[in-house]
Structure 1
């Protein structure tokens, strides 16, 4: 028997159970386990503990990167975030370093590498070790600069609801390995359909980065153009019809099929979002990002939880509230946690513990000065008024890093400015003009400055671990070419399709 698996201990234990069951039944077989992208000693130790190490041969398939599209490559390691940022298991960092080494080997040396975050620095160091250990062949550079960023540098962006088309498709239908499965509500038939979402799909390629409010207009125009293309055959002679059938008809039919799917997907998404008060949800998120009407936001979150609109969205709102306000007030934390557990079950106690450990959902720790102030206020005014004043003092007691970063980098544009989503002027369009993603803003600023100079206050607020290293290629002295314009951005811990859309916008503008 041959097993192709990720190097997970639980999976290895299941294989051990199969092997031991075969032995007990008198079936003696040889087993081969192929680990991808690499094998770990811990997995082999399990085979030894279970007494089947001698019956198993192990190998590894060094499959580090999966190209999902012309400009997207992925490690396809969904467990990277949990293992690294929650469990503290750093084994995948070397995998990230090996992926960089593979790119370096295939596409030549990088002219400069920038990064921020503990794991980004570790991945860079792992890559450097592999470069020094191996033989380096002189190659023409095809990638200019590399930017590494840890997911925990910017938690706010993935917590915001996505409103670009590809992001919404991912939120509702889930895109896996560049593929999505549309249900019967989209296909208007009794069959489910799997579709590859990449630049080969011409309809999708034109709307993937568009704000959802622009998509229906585009699809409507596309349908009219398609109908016009079909209609032109009416005045053709036999020879022209023959040419039309052999050269154009197949492409038109394929485009018609894809157009029908994307119209169906858009209608399905619109129905689901209308049911969930999507506009109110976006308004609440924007208020949290701006730091306005926080009490009204908490009231909306409570209603969202108690109406059981969406378990995941409720958690996202709670985490967004916590990060933008630098933690919840203890009384708010206890109240919201109790309401969530009542709505969705006490088994989510572990969820709250994990979110607290990862810093996504925490309660503020009031200082000694604040406690004294609270006691004085309590003597002077009634309990209700004291509660309101305590809230105000608590928000002043601990300065929010997000607020400071937002002001420093101008992440939240002024709300009184009119924003035309059809002609976006900056990366904020991916969140309806309300917020520029921090991760993408950092990429923009560092590339503009060619390093972290002038961003010292920003890196201090982000807990440092930033670095900029000139590559060994002598890229500074080499003549500028097209390769130097290519920038590779690597997220350690995953990224959203909204961030990809923002980076595409940045690439077009710069």
Structure 2
């Protein structure tokens, strides 16, 4: 198949005001279009206002569309539907001239270059479909990837071939008698399409070279849409770049680091200069240096900019965490409710795909029938009925779903009890209708009915998700994997853990789970800073995996070694492991004591926020982790040739008012897990005047890390 533009739903239909996402089939919410927009900050949240970033992203998108004045057809990269759906809706796009939208799909067969001698015949054999763009202007919004450049080049040529078959070219001689005999070749108003490519976040040289090679570059207009942080929650903003970790740590492409620095620079423009930048890891150090350099470049062009010369009164510190410093956390199974939803069902762009019955309360009609959704396989293709029930995407939002906000960060073991109590409370509220005797009492109950119905829908959804999770956690395989994970992290009988993994391989258990356990034992192996598995054991396990699951997974094993998830232990690491394992056990004991002392039901007193003291007092523990540590204090403009950073103590970040609420921004380079978010939210609840906001390249889990390295489905 040659490149085509198709829409999984509503292909070739006008954009209606009832649509709830930025493109057909993109993340939808049962609450309507407003649920996909920037959410209001909860009343109890007194930290950083992240809705500003959603407004910036929305204005950037609309400004890009407004550069094309006439009506336009939008061809959208599917990976951008989720992020854009969080900041814009279809009705807003329609107001800015978008009449129809289609998916941008890569070629399903080898791309046919213009340099091929049998170019036209090959295009015909490839089955190139019609784009059916009804407007003169065609706008592509996509990431700067070669597969999309191939799609754009193929679709543009398809449109041009359609026009040439309708209207003879001027230099072609057509006898008059032929024109009189067949006037159907003379259209009344043939469309002469114009093409615009909007790169997200910016164009790249390889894409420009490819377009030039295919003869397309001179016929298209190029724009850059710098989509940066998208707010997923009031305390979470993300670049939503799912390929960031693979690009950085496997491909050696540091473009996501540069993009992260630009996004953090935007935060400084919005909230003021970060007084302090500290972090852990080699690439975190690189990001900090790039951020400081960009600030100096901005100061050179605008030395009086107060946002870059005056320390922020809202943000006291920026902490940058290199994902390679801690691979153990994403490799372990997440045991919070939201984490398990991500592990079992999957959370993408803040949305989860569920059966429609969980949202509507109505069972899906069997065998398709009237309840089956029509599916359009391509533009101009007849609608076909499918018997497979389609899942719907629902926004998980704690600001509109109170129950989700209560259980999202809880250990899954206590979620069932919380749902039971919520069901009893809801049933009691419904029973209140029997006590409504007078007109005023009935009116009061009717006023509460809408809220009760929303709570009922939320309870139905989370009960259904909990049942799906329990089906997974009740399996013997899950409990075996969890036991190996906990023993490996605690440093207990590592030899026995290798034997358990070998047994799983012999039993042909899920390869993804086996690799996840193997990588975890490698990361924490022998307790050394570098980790690793004994070379003899590693080679044996690799050979067993290839012989059991197939040699098509050899590139995956090599990639895991390249990124440091599967490594050989250094000589002598076994002797040095005892002290490091003791360090881990001490940290686990300290964590248990802290969780007991700060239990939500306890009588602990919330301490006042204090300046972050950096790494002082924790040098031995931090030294066990790979990568350097750094701590920079940013001062005002120092002028040309001067220094605007220093490595002084934390006094520079001390707020003048002891009761002033400040925010610490924590940036995860390479992704953050939902359990890490839960831990930082727990810290939010333990300090009186310090709040933590998380910024990240994307949200991750162990399965996604390993899948991103595989060239075959897992």
User: 1:186/1:343 Cα in 2 relative to 1: closer, same or farther (>3 Å)?
Assistant: farther
User: 1:210/1:459 Cα in 2 relative to 1: closer, same or farther (>3 Å)?
Assistant: closer
Q: Secondary structure at the match of 2:277?
A: strand
Question: Is 1:171 aligned with 2:343?
Answer: yes
Determine the C-alpha separation between the residues in 1 that align with 2:584 and 2:612.
16
2:212 — aligned with what?
48
Q: Secondary structure at the match of 1:124?
A: helix
Determine the C-alpha separation between the residues in 1 that align with 2:628 and 2:661.
25
1:339 — aligned with what?
544
Aligned match for 1:30, one of 186, 189, 194: 194
Question: Is 1:146 aligned with 2:310?
Answer: no
Determine the C-alpha separation between the residues in 1 that align with 2:582 and 2:319.
21
User: 1:448/1:348 Cα in 2 relative to 1: closer, same or farther (>3 Å)?
Assistant: farther
Aligned runs of 1:343-492 on 2, under 5 Å?
A: 343-364=548-569, 367=571, 396=574, 399-400=576-577, 404=580, 407=583, 410-413=586-589, 424-425=596-597, 450-472=613-635, 476=653, 479-480=656-657, 485-492=662-669
2:395 — aligned with what?
196
Determine the C-alpha separation between the residues in 1 that align with 2:264 and 2:544.
45
1:272 — aligned with what?
472
User: 1:221/1:459 Cα in 2 relative to 1: closer, same or farther (>3 Å)?
Assistant: closer
**What residue ranges of structure 1 are gaps of 5+ in the alignment?**
368-393, 430-446
Q: Secondary structure at the match of 1:498?
A: helix
Determine the C-alpha separation between the residues in 2 that align with 1:207 and 1:500.
13
TM-score (norm 2): 0.60
Question: Is 1:243 aligned with 2:444?
Answer: yes
1:104 — aligned with what?
268
User: 1:483/1:344 Cα in 2 relative to 1: closer, same or farther (>3 Å)?
Assistant: farther
Q: Secondary structure at the match of 1:242?
A: helix
Compute the displacement of 1:174 (Å): 0.9
User: 1:22/1:102 Cα in 2 relative to 1: closer, same or farther (>3 Å)?
Assistant: same
TM-score (norm 1): 0.82
**What residue ranges of structure 2 are gaps of 5+ in the alignment?**
1-137, 165-191, 365-388, 526-530, 601-609, 637-650, 688-714
Question: Is 1:212 aligned with 2:396?
Answer: no
Q: Which moved more, 1:15-24 or 1:282-291?
A: 15-24
Decide whether the 8 Å contact of 2:314 with 2:662 is kept in 1: no
Q: Which moved more, 1:303-312 or 1:264-273?
A: 303-312
Compute the displacement of 1:106 (Å): 1.1
Determine the C-alpha separation between the residues in 2 that align with 1:57 and 1:317.
49
Q: Deviations over 1:125-174 (max 9, x none)?
A: 22223322333235763222110011001011110011000000001111
**Greater share of helix:** 1
Compute the displacement of 1:20 (Å): 4.0
Compute the displacement of 1:311 (Å): 2.4
Compute the displacement of 1:477 (Å): 6.8
2:330 — aligned with what?
158
Determine the C-alpha separation between the residues in 1 that align with 2:501 and 2:297.
53
User: 1:485/1:404 Cα in 2 relative to 1: closer, same or farther (>3 Å)?
Assistant: farther
Decide whether the 8 Å contact of 1:5 with 1:36 is kept in 2: yes
Q: Secondary structure at the match of 2:681?
A: helix
Compute the displacement of 1:40 (Å): 2.1
1:133 — aligned with what?
297
Q: Secondary structure at the match of 2:444?
A: helix
1:10 — aligned with what?
147
Determine the C-alpha separation between the residues in 2 that align with 1:455 and 1:272.
39
Compute the displacement of 1:280 (Å): 2.5
Decide whether the 8 Å contact of 2:491 with 2:581 is kept in 1: no
Q: Which moved more, 1:286-295 or 1:147-156?
A: 286-295
Q: Secondary structure at the match of 1:469?
A: strand
Q: Which moved more, 1:269-278 or 1:70-79?
A: 269-278
1:388 — aligned with what?
none
Compute the displacement of 1:32 (Å): 1.0
2:486 — aligned with what?
286
Q: Which moved more, 1:34-43 or 1:310-319?
A: 34-43
**Structural RMSD (CA):** 2.9
Compute the displacement of 1:5 (Å): 0.7
Decide whether the 8 Å contact of 2:611 with 2:653 is kept in 1: no
Determine the C-alpha separation between the residues in 2 that align with 1:257 and 1:497.
24
Determine the C-alpha separation between the residues in 2 that align with 1:59 and 1:276.
53
Decide whether the 8 Å contact of 1:173 with 1:181 is kept in 2: yes
Q: Number of paired residues? A: 459
Decide whether the 8 Å contact of 2:202 with 2:226 is kept in 1: yes
Aligned match for 2:510, one of 310, 314, 326: 310
Q: Deviations over 1:370-419 (max 9, x none)?
A: xxxxxxxxxxxxxxxxxxxxxxxx7625x459x728707933328xx9x6
User: 1:353/1:448 Cα in 2 relative to 1: closer, same or farther (>3 Å)?
Assistant: farther
